[in-house]
Amino acid sequence: MHYERKPVQISAFIAEETKAALDRYVESTGLKKNRVIEEALQRHLAAIDEIPANMITETHLETTDEGWAMIWDMVENDREPSPELVEMWERHFEFVRTNGKSLEDEIHPLLAADGD
């Protein structure tokens, strides 16, 4: 079954580099820009629905001059990670190594308790 979609126009300012990359892509594939942009937006929005919000990292970081100085200080002064950070990374690597199975083992009893 074919659905008719009413097209609407949107407008956005993007970086020159992004536009150049889009232009190269449509030139090499023969696809129309509107199709590429719509598919990219659909994929992005679908991914946002699937990924927990706390796992999404922003692609741009905005900070004050003081904040940037603090970040730069942390980068320059190679400090030992906190025990909490070490534990987080260990859990992350365990999750990746076991394809999430270890996390399922921890969550399953909690879900079963909620169902009672």
pLDDT tens-digit readout, 69-84? 888 888 888 778 788 8
Nearest-angstrom CA–CA distance, 60 and 51: 19
3 state SS of 10: coil
Q: Are 31 and 40 in contact (CB under 8 A)?
A: no
Query: pLDDT > 70: what percent of the chain?
Result: 81
Query: 71-86: b or e for each residue (b if 16 or more CB lie within 10 Å)?
Result: eeeeeeeeeeeeeeee
pTM (2 decimals)?
A: 0.47
Predicted local confidence at residue 33, as pLDDT: 94
For the stretch 20-46, pLDDT in tens is: 999 999 999 999 999 999 999 999 899
Q: Does pLDDT of 6 surpass 80?
A: yes
Q: Are 36 and 22 in contact (CB under 8 A)?
A: yes
Q: Does pLDDT of 115 surpass 60?
A: no
CA distances from 91 to 19, 70, 97, 110 (A): 39, 27, 10, 18
Return the amino acid letter for 7.
Answer: P
pLDDT confidence tier of residue 106, bands split at 50, 70 and 90: low
